[in-house]
Amino acid sequence: MSGRLPKYKQIQEELRYQIQQDVYQVGDLLPSENEMCAHYGITRTTARKALEELQREGYIMRRHGKGSVVVERRNSLGLLTVKGFSDVAGKAVRNIMVAKPHVASWDTSFVFTPSPTEEAGDCYRFTRIRCVEDDAVLVEVSWLDCGLVPGFDKQEFVNGSFFKTLSQCYLIEVLGSEQELQAISAQGTIADLLGIPVGSPILYIAVRYLTNKSGYYIYSKLYCNTSKYSIGNRFLSK
């Protein structure tokens, strides 16, 4: 097992949890790097790494000469982070499997063209709807090479999570993703699943996930009704 997390990650997650639990509230300063060193018995390099990651995740803002300030978290869809859709702050999220994984052929009408190795064989394909408080906000169609995940159509999802299943059952880790965003008009099935009129503007996101199995990708098409929940994003430079 690769098992144990690096120290900086453990500390990062502990701090993130404390922010989520309001131990540190918006505007508060996190402990300084030196205080963290003393508290955890680590060096500044490790403390900094944890804090830099938290900044990248949008939980804090670091200011030279001042410290690490907890920043306001927006009430919008978890977005585009690598692992996809997860937390809409404080709201109940539900997933509905519309079409269970089944063998299909590759869809070619797509921004990302499958690699030749992939296109030669079949793929598994499945469709889910993501709801926030009973509003269907996202239709997600995903597919991946059959060779990558043998028996995937008979495999139960671990905790209902696709990525957890990949990691725990197939040792596949997602290293990153590429996305293309477009505004389009909702058509038949999609409009239907989202419960909106045909022709409504929706956000279409084509995603290609990079995995640790080189040459193999995971593809998703997301159709998102942004009328109630917009897609939030935060970037911090420096």
In this structure, are residues 52 and 60 in contact, taking their beta carbons and an 8 Å threshold? Answer: no
Residues making contact with DNA (CB under 7 A): 2, 6-9, 30, 32-35, 41-46, 48-49, 51, 62-68, 212, 214, 238
Q: Rule CB under 8 A: is residue 1 a binding residue for a copy of itself?
A: no
Count CB atoms within 10 A of the CB of residue 33.
19
In this structure, are residues 123 and 106 in contact, taking their beta carbons and an 8 Å threshold? Answer: yes
Of 75, 72, 78, 64, residue with least CA distance to 32: 64
Residue from the set 22, 133, 180, 192 that interacts with a copy of itself by CB under 8 A: 180
> What residue type is 33 in one-letter code?
E
> What residue type is 217 in one-letter code?
Y
Q: Which does 12 bind (CB under 5 to 8 A by kind): a copy of itself, DNA, none?
A: none
Q: Which does 95 bind (CB under 5 to 8 A by kind): a copy of itself, DNA, none?
A: none
Q: Longest C-alpha distance within the chain, in Å? A: 60
Q: Which does 183 bind (CB under 5 to 8 A by kind): a copy of itself, DNA, none?
A: a copy of itself
Question: By the criterion CB under 8 A, which residues form the site for a copy of itself?
Answer: 45, 61, 74, 76, 80-83, 111, 174-185, 201-204, 206, 210, 224, 226-227, 230-238
